[in-house]
Amino acid sequence: LDVAPQLVVVLGGRPPQSAVNRPALPPDAREFISPFLPLMEKLGRVQAQIAAGRLEKIEIAYCGDLADYDVRALTRVFLKGLLHGTVDNVSYVNAPALAEARGVEIIEKKMGHCGDYANLVETLSTRNDDGHIRTRQVDGTIFNGTEPHAVEIQGLRVDVVLDGTLLLIPNHDRPGMIGHVGTILGDAGVNIAGMQVGRKAVGERAVMIINLEEPVSQDVIDKLDAVPDLFGARLIDLR
């Protein structure tokens, strides 16, 4: 993961060599906040790729013990990930200004309670897709010290390591859905490294998240979208 040297300097409590608009953190805050940096960049990159349309608003809610800390550095890291690949020369320093220049409203919240997790970051994006307003929710936390996981997508509970290449497939929970996906990927010579399925209840909306060894072609995406009850497959590159 590309971590800006100046951000590391500031998080280390030393004066920055260039402006970061971020006060030096005391040692206790530095130790607590730093493990969440990879999670925030990955969440930003997921939100950048999870849906089509012009991004209008991003809401970030910090829950649990995170709510007791200055989280501006985490928001900067998220925005850098969000703009990755779409804006030239984006950095942790200029990401907030670049997002604002693109008309993106940034809302930051803090909440003490976060359900089953000691700490949780909830992110919600709002996009305008040719007049259709679309929202996408992706929540995450860290396990095993620093390992970034998505734990909820569009209100569906999952547990997905945010790494490598992911294939996200919203669907209706019907018998044979996983088989259809496996057949299409197998015919294309795509190796599945892992799979998670989240659903509200039997027969209701669901989501598959598949860890891939490498990205798939648009032709594969089109074949997935042609299957009844599978819709809006998205390839998410976190490499």
Q: Which domains does the chain have, with CATH numbers?
A: 1-153 (3.30.1330.90), 164-239 (3.30.70.260)
How far is residue 221's CA from residue 215's CA, in Å, rounded to a whole number? 10
Query: pLDDT tens digits for 104-117?
Result: 999 999 998 888 89
By residue count, the chain amounts to 239
- Reduced to 3 states, what is the DSSP secondary structure of residue 143? strand
pLDDT, average across residues 42-58: 96
Interval 68-97 mean pLDDT: 93
pLDDT tens string 194-235: 999 999 888 899 999 999 989 999 999 999 999 999 999 999
* pLDDT value, residue 115: 83
Averaged pLDDT for residues 21-25: 44
Which of 86, 78, 91, 165 lies closest to 122 in space, CA to CA?
Answer: 78
Beta strands 147-153 and 132-143, pairing class? antiparallel
Q: Is 142 buried (19+), middle (13-18) or exposed (0-12) by CB count in 10 A?
A: buried
**18, pLDDT greater than 90:** no
pTM for the structure as a whole: 0.87
**Mean pLDDT, residues 47-63:** 96
Percent of the chain with pLDDT over 90: 79
Confidence of residue 29 (pLDDT cuts 50, 70, 90): confident
pLDDT, residue 20, reads 45
- Contacts of 6-11 with CB under 8 Å at 24 or more apart are 6/92, 6/93, 7/37, 7/73, 7/76, 7/77, 7/92, 10/73, 11/37, 11/73
d(CA 65, CA 111): 9
Give the torsion through C-alpha atoms of 200, 61, 103, 232, to 10 deg. Answer: -20
